[in-house]
Structure 1
Amino acid sequence: MTQLEDLTDEQMERYARHLVLPEVEEDGQLRLLNSSVLVIGAGGLGSPLLLYLAAAGVGTIGIVDDDSVERSNLQRQIVHSEESLGTTKVASAQKRLQALNPDLRIVIHETRITADNAQEIIADYDLVADGCDTIATRYVLNDACFARKKTLVSAAILRFDGQITTIKAHEPGNNPCYRCLFGNDQPDGRDSCADVGVFGALAGTMGSLQAVEVIKELLGIGTSLSGRLMLYSALDAQFHSMNTRRDPACPVCGGVE
C-alpha cells in the first residue's frame, strides 16, 4: 500500500478531533493511516475494536474469523446486524467498516488461526489484536507474535468480567508473554460464553479498551500495558491493575534480556 504523506481536505475534516491533540496531530494521523492491524475475531471484542480502529483511520485492517453471523451474536457483536444473518462474519464486518470509513483497506481472512498458518497471516501487519474466544488460539498467537516480533494486544471476557494486557515479549526488559502470565499448561474444559453467558455491554467496554491500547502502541504515546494485566469487574464497577513479570524459565521468551 502506498504510504500517504499528506492529509486530504476530507481527511482533515474527518480526523479533526485527533488533529488538535498534541499527542496525535497531523504526523500521528498519517502514522495511523499508514499502519496495519490484524484483528483476530469479529465477535464480541472484535466488533467495537474494529469499529474504533476504522473510525480512527488505521489504514489497513485485517480480520480473521471462520464463523457466520447468528442471531444470538447480535446481543454483543455490534458490527453485525439482522441483515448479516447467515453471512460470514468477515464479510459482514468488512461491509460495515467500509461504510464507516471508505478510505481504508479491509483485508479478510476467512479462516481460523492455527499453529500452521499464524505466522504467515500476521507477517504483513504492524500489530495484532486478539479478540478470539479460545485459550488455545491465544497461546498460538502469543508464540507466533513472538517469533515474528509483533506486538499483541490481548483481551478476554466471560460473564461480567474482563481482562486486557499488551504483549511485546520480543522487546528487552520486563515484557512478559502470555505464557509468563498464565503458564504453559492450557486448562481443559474452561467455560465458554455459550455455556455461562456474557454481559453484552462488557464486550463494548473491553473492545474499546483494546482499541485505545492498539492506537497508543501505533502512535508510541502514553504508558503501555506491557508488564501489567488490567482486570475489570462490571458488577463491582472496579478496575484492578496488577504488575506482571517475565518468567526467566519461559520456553518462548525466557532468553530475552
Structure 2
Amino acid sequence: MLLPASVRFSKPKIQPKRFKSGKNTLPDNVFQERFSSQIRLPHIGLSGQEKLFQAKILVVGAGTLGCACLPWLVASGIGEIRLVDPDRIEPDNLARQVLYTEAELGQNKALSAKTTLQRQNPHLNLIAETQYATRESAQNWIKKADLVLDCADNVATSFLLDDLCRSAGKIFVSASAERFGGYVGAFNGNAPAYRNIFPALNEGTDCATSGILGAAGGVIGALQAQITISLILGLDPSPLGKLFVWKGDEWRMETIIFYDAPIKKTENYPVISLKEITANDLLIDLRPKNSWPKINNALRELPKNLSPEQQDHRRIIFLCETGALATKEALEHQERGYRNLALCALNLEENL
C-alpha cells in the first residue's frame, strides 16, 4: 500500500538548537554568528562558548577596574554577571572610568553601567546591586556565582571577599591599579588565598590618593577579564596561583607564581561591621583624633598593661577608614602573640 504523497515526501521538522542561560535563550544561528571569532579558536570552540554562556560571575566594583574589565566579559558571552557598586559617578571618575559620561554624573555606577553594558549585549542576564558588600550580602551573592572578581581596589573588601570565597570554595580574581601599573592574581581554589600573599597593605595605596593613568587601569582590567575567561573555560596552563604585575613606567610585565608557595598557618582576622561589635570587645580607633564619625567607647591604643597572656579571650578590633592601617596593626599584634583579632573599615559602612 502506497502512502499519500503528502506523507511520503514531507521532510521531518528539525527544531534548531537554542542555547539557554538562566532566563536567556539564543537561537543557534544567532549564537554562532555573534561569537564566531571565539568559537573558531581551537581552545574554545562551540562547547567552550556554551561554558561561557552558562557561567555566572560576581563583579564587586564598577570603578576604574570594573569599567575596564566588564565590557570584555560582556562581549565574551558570559551568561550572567552580578555587578555591585553603591557609589555615584563623580566628575573625576570620567578620566579613567570609561563606561560613564557627563550625562550620567550623580547616577549610581552599577545601574549606569548596567544600562550601557546591556546595550552592548542584550542577551546576558546583568544584575545591578546598589548596596554595600557586607559579610551578609556578599555571602549570599557568592553562593550564586561560579567565580568572583574583586574590582573594588579596597583592602577591606578584598579581605572580606577572599575569606568568603575560600569558605565557599570559589576562585577569587583580585586586581589593583595605581599610578602607571598594577597587578591581578587568581587565588583560592587549589591555590593559596589572597591573605596568604597579601597579609597587610600600607595605608593610602589606591588611585584616589596616589593618582592613576586611566590606560594603566585599562591594561589591568582587560587582563583580569582574560584571566576570568580562561578560568571559566579551564584552559591549560591555568592562571590560578599566579600574580601578574604590570610596571607601565618601566614597560615590563612580571609573573609571580605562588601556587606552591609555603603558607604560614595563622589565625585570620575577619572583617566585621560596626553592628557586630559587642560590649566585651576592645575597639582601637586608628584614625586621627576628632575624626568623623566619633565611635563611642573606642580607645586610641591598646592598654599597655594588656599582654597577650592577659587578653583573656577578649576580641581586639582595629578600626580605620579603608582597612589598610587596621590590617597592618592586626598583623603586628598577631606576630606579638595576640589572638582573636578583627578589622573594621568605615568605608564599608552603609549608614554612615
State whether TM-score is above 0.5: yes
What CA deviation, in whole Å up to 9, does each residue of 1:92-114 have, x standing for no partner? 11001110000010011112212
How many Å separate the matches in 2 of 1:181 and 1:51?
A: 29
1:121 Cα offset (Å): 1.8
**Aligned pairs (5 A) from 1:110-129:** 110-129=130-149
Helix, strand or coil at the partner of 1:99: helix
Report the equivalent of 1:164: 184
**Aligned pairs (5 A) from 1:86-125:** 86-125=106-145
Helix, strand or coil at the partner of 1:91: helix
**Aligned pairs (5 A) from 1:146-165:** 146-165=166-185
Q: 2:233 aligns with which of 219, 222, 229?
A: 219
1:251 Cα offset (Å): 3.7
Give yes or no for the alignment of 1:176 onto 2:196.
no
Report the equivalent of 1:255: none
**Aligned pairs (5 A) from 1:50-61:** 50-61=70-81
Instruction: Give the percent of matched residue pairs that are identical in Structure 1 and Structure 2.
Output: 33
1:3 Cα offset (Å): 8.1
**Aligned pairs (5 A) from 1:1-257:** 2=22, 7-168=27-188, 170-171=189-190, 175-183=191-199, 186-187=200-201, 189-244=203-258, 245-251=261-267
Asked whether the equivalents of residues 3 and 34 of structure 1 are also in contact (C-alpha less than 8 Å), the reply is no
* 1:195 partner amino acid: T
How many Å separate the matches in 1 of 2:24 and 2:134?
A: 33
**Structure-1-length-normalised TM-score:** 0.90
What CA deviation, in whole Å up to 9, does each residue of 1:69-96 have, x standing for no partner? 1121111111222221111001111001
Change (3 A) 1:5 1:66: closer
Structure 2 regions of 5+ residues with no counterpart? Answer: 1-20, 269-352
**Structure-2-length-normalised TM-score:** 0.67
How many Å separate the matches in 1 of 2:173 and 2:75?
A: 18
Asked whether the equivalents of residues 79 and 93 of structure 1 are also in contact (C-alpha less than 8 Å), the reply is yes
* 1:139 partner amino acid: F
Could you tell which deviates more after superposition, 51-60 or 68-77? 68-77
- Report runs of 4+ in structure 1 exceeding 4 Å deviation: 3-7
How many Å separate the matches in 1 of 2:211 and 2:60?
A: 21
* 2:92 partner amino acid: S
Asked whether the equivalents of residues 231 and 239 of structure 2 are also in contact (C-alpha less than 8 Å), the reply is no
How many Å separate the matches in 2 of 1:56 and 1:102?
A: 13
Asked whether the equivalents of residues 139 and 178 of structure 1 are also in contact (C-alpha less than 8 Å), the reply is yes
Report the equivalent of 2:10: none
1:6 Cα offset (Å): 7.5
Helix, strand or coil at the partner of 2:135: coil
Change (3 A) 1:70 1:249: same
Q: CA RMSD, aligned part only? A: 1.8
Helix, strand or coil at the partner of 2:225: helix
Structure 1 regions of 5+ residues with no counterpart? Answer: 253-257
